[in-house]
Amino acid sequence: MVILTLNCGSSSVKYQIYDWDAREALASGVVERVTQDGSAIKHKARGKEEYEKQQPCPDHEKAIQLIISTVLDPEHGAISDIDAIKAVGHRVVHGGEKFAKSVLVDDNVLDTFRELQSLAPLHNPANIMGIEAARSVLPSVPHCAIMDTAWHQTMPQKAYLYALPHQWYRQHGVRRYGFHGTSFLYTAKRAAVLLGKDPFETSLIIAHIGNGASINAVKNGVSVDTSMGLTPLEGLIMGTRCGDIDPAIPFHMVNNAGFKSDEVERALNKKSGVLGITEKYVDRRDIEEAAAAGDQQAALAIEMESYRIRKYIGAYAAALGGVDALVFTAGVGERGPTIRHKAVEGLEFMGIKLDKKRNRASRTKNAETIISTDDSPTRIFVIPTDEELVMTEDTYALMQGTYDVHTNFQYSFQMPDYQNMERNGCIDQDIEKVEGLEEIVLGGQRSARVRDPECD
């Protein structure tokens, strides 16, 4: 059985083709510059060379048609018959309070997503366009929606309400929703396995640090607080988003600097974060190189981003009253030792002790590693996220009628003997490049490694 997962942005469509029976990804890729000039697909099928093709995609339907034709291509594709695709899972950023778990998509569900567009104007319209386009291209298979916000529906009112007129919440849904839910779900379940504990007896702080970034407090296996709010703009300093600011700043720029409200909104979402600080860079690797070369604004961006993460770690440790593990995930979290080091610097008094050598060695997306000292009361893990696997498992379970909210549902990756064979096969390549990495790869994965020629 083959399951297609789609992550539709305003100008891109990411995808994965997954063989459920073999438990492996057959292909993945992205169509970039959708609705723009120069649109193209970047595609990689298992056992084949990476493939790129430029083709106009004036809308999401054309992009999804390009994906389907590519995965069916005899030379570059992964499947021989479109009928092999039995279901499609869609990432949806904002489900509001309507959804506490993934759902099968029907017209009523789509109408609800449309009602929520004002809560995620940069994300939900694209998600909706993607679902509509995929239903048009693949009308005979079930389509499922996996919401970023669903994981956070366990937050108590004291965490998700703002100190604003209460009717704003009742009438307009103004509250904290949180995002990156599929990533937090995956890493929370994996952290419990690494700790050898029941997932509902663990307290965690999970930092998803990438271009978009947020941090999550998990108590007894469920989300109790998170840094993103009504929209993905609040919280940590991100690639182009500002995170926490004085709410009066937008009014100041409108009233005193002559900005229009849409200009301020665009600046906060697209021109702020580390890009705003450096005035040049979004990629943290570029920022580190520039800082090493003496760029003071780049160095400041590193300090500011790390400081914001450290403040949230301290706040959430206090809110939880004890932490079993601190987890780093996503692009920077998985491969950014500088940010990790600075984010936990000085937290030894809280029982968070980083091993600097281990931290420097942990730069891989193919292995779960431990970077805390042996005597650290709180473990520090780096766990590469796998949002596509969560989407795939939710989609399959919805098809089978076995799915439920995560507190009543068991994923394959929360089993003690779970192995990601693709990652296991690729970690040797990283070990050859990075001194000290092999010693911090966590035991179960180390013992199960079988070198995969795909990674050579």
Q: Which of 194, 278, 205, 276 is nearest to 243 (CA)?
A: 276
Whether 81 is a known active-site residue: answer: no
Q: Which of 334, 322, 320 is nearest to 377 (CA)?
A: 322
Provide the residue type at 128 as one letter. I
124-137 vs 107-115: helix axis angle to the nearest 10? 160
Secondary structure (DSSP) of 250-309: HHHHHHHH---HHHHHHHHHHS-HHHHHHSS--SHHHHHHHHHTT-HHHHHHHHHHHHHH
Phi and psi, residue 203, nearest 5°: -120, 125
d(CA 105, CA 411): 21
Task: Exactly one of 148, 324, 394, 452 is catalytic; name it.
Answer: 148
In 3-state terms the chain splits into helix, strand, coil percentages (rounded to 5) of 45, 20, 35
Phi and psi, residue 375, nearest 5°: -100, 15
CB of 238 closer than 8 Å to CB of 301: no
Phi and psi, residue 280, nearest 5°: -140, -40
296-320 vs 337-344: helix axis angle to the nearest 10? 50
The two structure tokens encoding residue 249 = 């700043």
Determine the distance from the C-alpha atom of residue 211 to the mean position of all C-alpha atoms in its chain, rounded to a whole number: 10
DSSP type of residue 352: B
Q: What positions carry a catalytic annotation?
A: 148
